[in-house]
Amino acid sequence: MKKMLTAFFAVLSLYYAQAQDSTSLLKDIGLKPDDYQVTGTFKSTRVINAHSTEMLPKGVLDVRIMHRFGVVKNGFKDLFGIDNASMRLSFDYGICDRLMIGIGRSTILKDLDIFAKARVLQQTSGGEKRMPVTLLLAAGYIVTTQESFANPKPDFGDRSSFFVQVIAGRKFSRNFSMQISPLLVHNNATLNPDDDKNIIGLGGGLRYKVSKRVALMLDYHYAIGVLDAAITNPLSFGVDIETGGHVFQLHISNATSMNEKGYLTQTTGEFFKGDIRIGFNLSRVFTIGKRKKKW
């Protein structure tokens, strides 16, 4: 637990180191800043469930609604899952162009989560030297607030989970982007007593742009560790539609929960056996204060 907290605050501390000179890292390795940065690897700060390589600029607030319905295969019994809906509402904010923070609330288990994400390297092109990838670190904390009827009742520590994630991505062309995003989730207490408290997720995301405002998305993680036999790996496919200040995403997934603890260690149902849920993510950004250039 102490190690996870240390990692979380380490991400926050990157802000102070980089705020003194936001271009120093590029200068140290001989890169020219800003003019050579590769942008738009993904159109949103999340692929579908997982964090992406994108960051919020300084002073930008992202209000995000992530919605997931029940399984489609039940048919008209629950209107193809629409009767069983879950949601995560979040508010993310750009502290500076290299650091963002966020807070979210999920209806599943009434989870409350906070996170910080920092950019370490930015993909660049042109010039004598190039940076081939964008590299970020993310860390967060999740607490379950739903009332428990267990005896004895879990305390605050038992309800707590932590995660640390490394995100490395590259925009290969105008249309195709890819990232790998290994994830470590630590649960102080597990739903199944035999489950491992530390679970590693190996995976990432893909984006393929099919038109000026439409892109196809894939998000997947493979869980490594001992989990209940009913737990499966989260797989999601989506379509991103950009409309001005909105990014609307329609997707299908076998995951119900939309935070790191949930989608990696609590997903049930086989995607290719029909355990598919329809969902959508809606993101609306607002600029708080004045900025020199439009995002």
Q: For residues 222-245, give the mean pLDDT.
A: 91
Tell me how crowded residue 204 is: count the other CB atoms within 10 A of its CB: 21
Output the pLDDT for position 245: 66
Closest CA to 193 of 161, 146, 228: 228
Closest CA to 95 of 61, 133, 72, 126: 61
Output the pLDDT for position 67: 93
**pLDDT of 4 strictly over 60:** no
Residue reference for tokens 């380490």: 10
Residue that wins the pLDDT comparison between 27 and 240: 240
Least confident residue range of 5-9, 97-101, 179-183, 245-249 = 5-9
Banded model confidence at residue 198, pLDDT cuts 50, 70, 90: very high
Pairing of strands 86-96, 99-106: antiparallel
pLDDT (tens digit per residue) in 54-80 = 999 999 999 999 999 988 887 777 787
Residues 70, 107 contacting (CB under 8 angstroms):
no
Percent of the chain at pLDDT > 70 equals 85
Residues 104, 112 contacting (CB under 8 angstroms):
yes
Output the pLDDT for position 75: 78
Output the pLDDT for position 119: 96
**pLDDT of 138 strictly over 60:** yes
| Cα–Cα distance, 277 to 188 (Å, whole number) | 29
Output the pLDDT for position 295: 47
